[in-house]
Amino acid sequence: IDETIKSIKYHLPDSEIILQIDGLREEQLDRYEDYNEYKSRILWKCLHEYDNVLPLIFDEHSHQSTMMRATFDYINTPLMLYIEGDCPLVTDMPIDWEKCKDLIYKGEANTIRYHFEAQIPQEHEHMMLGIEGDFIRTAQWSQRPHLTTVLYYKDQVMPRIPERSFIEDTYHGVVHSDYLDNGKIGWYKHRLWIYYPKLGKNIKRSYHLDGRGGNLKYTT
């Protein structure tokens, strides 16, 4: 969490961070005291160390989808940057935030993702739909860090996602199916891009700290 918050502050020092703190799942109740200690440390940091970080605490296990629905009430901007707790942004490569915002404000994008590998893997190339400037169109949804509009998330993403679930697990299939069924018209429904600067020579703008420690998703 420290590393992820520092990476956000590096790029966007004046932006508020809303930190979602989930409740424990039933099979993790033996970690109750450990998790309370973790939450106490996080809340101490929010009060004394972090700047402009708002913690939202969920007493019951709510997961990404249920927490996201509750978080909309606290977002006062038209855009939001969604970042999972173990997926910091890189700090050794630049991100042109103004160019990203312009693409969205012009209506050409709903979402721009920041890739966690230096190039697009060969097995993902069939979901890439053309380069335009510093961006590449894609039909591949991922929950890696992404800049998006709050309106798109509220009106299109979250209505498709079950309660207490990973957003990506459902929405990856929604976006890909819309493209496969309807071609470019299906893509325009989502207007999803990957930040692709310098003609793709090194597009890595995020990385993974593996918060699960190699374990499978609990849903698996």
pLDDT digits (tens, 9 = 90+) for 92-150: 999 999 999 999 999 999 999 999 999 999 999 999 999 999 999 999 999 999 999 99
21's enclosing H/E stretch is strand 17-21
> What's the pTM?
0.94
Tokens representing 151 are 């309106």
- Tell me which amino acid residue 124 is: H
Largest Cα–Cα distance of the chain, in whole Å?
Answer: 51
Q: For residue 184, what are the CA distances in angstroms to 41, 158, 188, 190?
A: 48, 22, 6, 10
Q: For residue 178, what are the CA distances in angstroms to 16, 37, 108, 155?
A: 33, 44, 17, 16
Q: Is 163 exposed, middle or buried (0-12, 13-18, 19+ CB in 10 A)?
A: exposed
128's enclosing H/E stretch is strand 128-132
Q: At residue 217, does pLDDT exceed 70?
A: no
For residue 28, which phi and psi values (nearest 5 degrees)? -110, 10
Q: At residue 212, does pLDDT exceed 80?
A: no
Reduced to 3 states (helix: H, G, I; strand: E, B; else coil), residue 207 is: coil
Q: 146: Cβ–Cβ under 8 A, 6 or more apart, which residues?
A: 81, 82, 111, 112, 113, 114
Reduced to 3 states (helix: H, G, I; strand: E, B; else coil), residue 194 is: strand
Predicted local confidence at residue 175, as pLDDT: 97
For the beta carbon of residue 71, count every other beta carbon within 10 angstroms: 19
pLDDT digits (tens, 9 = 90+) for 42-92: 999 999 999 999 999 999 999 999 999 999 999 999 999 999 999 999 999
For the chain, how many helices (H) and strands (E)? Answer: 7, 8
Tokens representing 150 are 């709050």
What angle do the packed helices 167-182 and 63-71 form, to 10 degrees?
Answer: 90
CA distance 139 to 183: 10
Q: At residue 218, does pLDDT exceed 80?
A: no
